[in-house]
A and B are shown apart, each in its own frame.
Chain A
Amino acid sequence: MTRLTTTFAQPRPALVCFITAGDGDTAANLDALVEAGADVIELGMPFTDPMADGPAIQSANLRSLGAGTTTADVLRYATDFRARHPNVPLVLMGYANPMVRRGPEWFAEAAAAAGVDGVICVDIPPEEDDALGPALRAKGIAPIRLATPTTDAARLPQVLEGSEGFLYYVSVAGITGKQQAQIASIEENVARIKQSTAIPVAVGFGVRTPEQAAEIAKVADGVVVGSALVEICGQYGAEAPQHLKTLTKALAEAVHSAR
């Protein structure tokens, strides 16, 4: 079993936490998330043009790049994280260009060596899977796909084909950090997806509070929180870990006891 399958095999829902690499003290921030109960870590690879992100994560990307973060730095954060936390699944999330810049095989090899379990690439849909998917699978890294409210029944099988690790259900048609979808719509869509696949479904976009997270955890296998955590990194800088811990602890309790 991979780290991702082991985590999602637990009877309780999983809390998936996102922060942007290189925005503040990344190692300390990641440790805070794990210590407070995060089950899966999504580490954002900064990009100059984060088209699918709202203002919070856009700013985090620019802060990180402004501080000089490189791809080598991101991979080093991953390597060091894996050494400190041998069992916590780590997923890299970002945009295609930094991932394919040196070739997909180079990236897959480097990510595998860093102990990365999965990769979410926002702008490589199933139609362009060749650009990265085969290289990741060859190295045992799960290509994690996104499904959205616009992914209809006819298209869903194509999204699921080749998806590994978990499916990331984007609950709103929009960018990160904005409004949250109605829980009824999330419930209906997650149920629809789960009829078609055995892989776990995690729900994200617009999830900010323990109350929202608990509601979603009732119907999904995992809940993803990003912008709310990234805002803490931006607001508190070096003091971020303690504040991350407070929010993550509340989120984890809410998610883990949801059902």
Chain B
Amino acid sequence: MNTPLNSFRNLPDERGHFGQFGGRYVAETLMPLVLDLEREYRKAQADPAFQAEFDDLLEHYVGRPSPLYFAPRLTEELGGAQVWFKRDELNHTGAHKINNCIGQILLAIRMGKTRIIAETGAGQHGVATATVCARFGLPCVIYMGAEDVKRQSPNVFRMKLLGAEVIPVTSGGATLKDAMNEGLRDWVANVHDTFYIIGTAAGPHPYPEMVRNFQSVIGKEARAQMLARTGRLPDLLVAAIGGGSNALGLFHPFLDDPSVKMLGVEAAGHGLDGDEHAASLLGGSPGVLHGNRTYLLQDADGQITEGHSISAGLDYPGIGPEHAWLKESGRVDYTAVTDEEALDAFQLLCATEGIIPALEPSHAIAAVKKVAPTMPKDSIILANLCGRGDKDIFTVAERLGVEL
């Protein structure tokens, strides 16, 4: 590919670094595995048969391309920019996570691995992983924080129906980061036959790059669809960020389009002024965790602090290293919205468009709600509707004081 020298799309470097971020901060036991994974991924990238199988599964199994949808009543309600959505909640399994899982399981099979493990927060990545494991007949172990098992019981049942073993993790705060620790412990002890399907664009190189590339189907489709429908590019892209894979998937194909601004939306939980949020970029600082250097929620001694968000999928004290770099480079702006704002946006989309969004993209919608009225009516916002809200109705009911 011919990219200009000043491109925002030619990282990471050969060591997996995005500027000072990224890298391969893993135990020696895993290092040969991570290097092997990178070699195999490079071979797969160069193999047209791999890409063809990936594309075929995305089309016929996942249901891609997902629609690009203009939201007329939300646009009218907000009274500013046109609001468009990339409908990745219509994918098989109801979120963008499946795109990456298809890519990684094809790689796992190529590498001769016979057992799959994954971590999950909200359960969307766990469901997507369990789904592809069932599809390809591989045993699947999902690590999930015990707190999240409680918060997301429908997804736990889904994973079990799909044949996965769900292991509740009780160490630490019993949420996503602890599930990831347990995943890494499993991997280090079963390196000979196990493939770890990481769910977000984080972890040791090549995961951040690989997950981004698999998810970039979102932005590639959206870019072509938007050009076909409107004859131009959007003015602003908006996406929610936990680890950041849906946002990178949307943003990356547009990074070298200077007219397109981008806004990543972190979870402010109860507010950025306190400790109860999950905004690693806006409320954290650089450090090393889970195989990469990135922004983390941490104390003065480098101990990791617990994130908080109403959305289990955003409740992670780190973020993909490419976002850390995009923030420092100034190419992407980042903001955060609170639990309350996300809940309001959730209800707004239900009422105006007949779409029940997941709590993760509800954060993106909340940001759209703030920014759209400030933009001219002929401008275009494209937000990623990365998951559907069926899994969240119990959480929302509880917060709204409704007994089901």
Q: CB within 8 Å of B: which residues of A? A: 47-52, 54, 58, 62, 65, 70-71, 95-101, 122-125, 127-128, 131, 145-152, 155, 159, 170, 172-175, 178
Contact = CB atoms under 8 A, between A and B. Distances in A.
A174 B287 contact: no
Contacts of B30: 150
Q: Residue among B31, B181, B301, B303 with the most chain A CB within 10 A?
A: B301
A101 B189 CA distance: 28
Given A65-B303, A100-B302, A51 B185 contact: yes
Interface stretch (B20-28, B243-251, B261-269, B272-280): B20-28
Interface of B: 15, 23-33, 171-172, 177-178, 181, 184-185, 188-189, 191-192, 287-291, 293, 296, 298, 300-304
Contact of B24 (A54, A65, A125, A147): A125
A97 B171 CA distance: 19
Contacts of A150: 28-33, 191
B28 A97 contact: no
A76 to B, nearest CB: 13
Nearest to A127: B24
B404 to A, nearest CB: 35
A194 to B, nearest CB: 18
Contacts of A96: 25, 288
Given A49-B304, A101-B302, A173-B189, A127 B32 contact: no
A123 B291 contact: yes
Given A96-B25, A150-B29, A101 B300 contact: yes
A122 B171 CA distance: 20
A151 B172 contact: no
Contacts of B288: 95-97, 100, 123, 131
B261 to A, nearest CB: 33
B155 to A, nearest CB: 24
A97 B32 CA distance: 22
Contact of B290 (A51, A65, A149, A155): A51
Nearest to B303: A48
B189 A178 contact: yes
A123 B301 contact: no
Contact of A98 (B171, B293, B302): B302
A174 B185 CA distance: 7
B303 A148 contact: no
B303 A47 contact: yes
B233 to A, nearest CB: 38
A52 B298 contact: no
Contact of A145 (B15, B28, B171, B302): B28
Contacts of A172: 189
Contacts of B290: 49, 51
12 contacts: A49-B178, A49-B290, A62-B171, A71-B302, A96-B288, A123-B291, A127-B23, A145-B28, A150-B33, A155-B32, A173-B192, A175-B188
B15 A127 contact: yes
A170 B189 CA distance: 12
Given A97-B288, A175-B188, A52 B302 contact: no
B22 to A, nearest CB: 10
Contact of B298 (A101, A146, A159): A101
Choose among A65, A151, A172, A174 the residue with the greatest number of B CB atoms under 10 Å from its CB.
A174
B302 A146 contact: no
B29 to A, nearest CB: 4
Contacts of B24: 125, 127-128
Contact of B301 (A98, A122, A151): A98
Contacts of B291: 123
Nearest to A123: B25
A97 B185 contact: no
B28 A170 contact: yes
Contact of B302 (A50, A97, A124, A128): A97
Nearest to A50: B181
A176 to B, nearest CB: 10
Q: Which 8 A-B pairs have the closest CB atoms?
A: A101-B302, A174-B189, A98-B302, A96-B288, A97-B302, A148-B29, A146-B28, A48-B304
Contacts of A173: 29, 188-189, 191-192
A124 B288 CA distance: 10
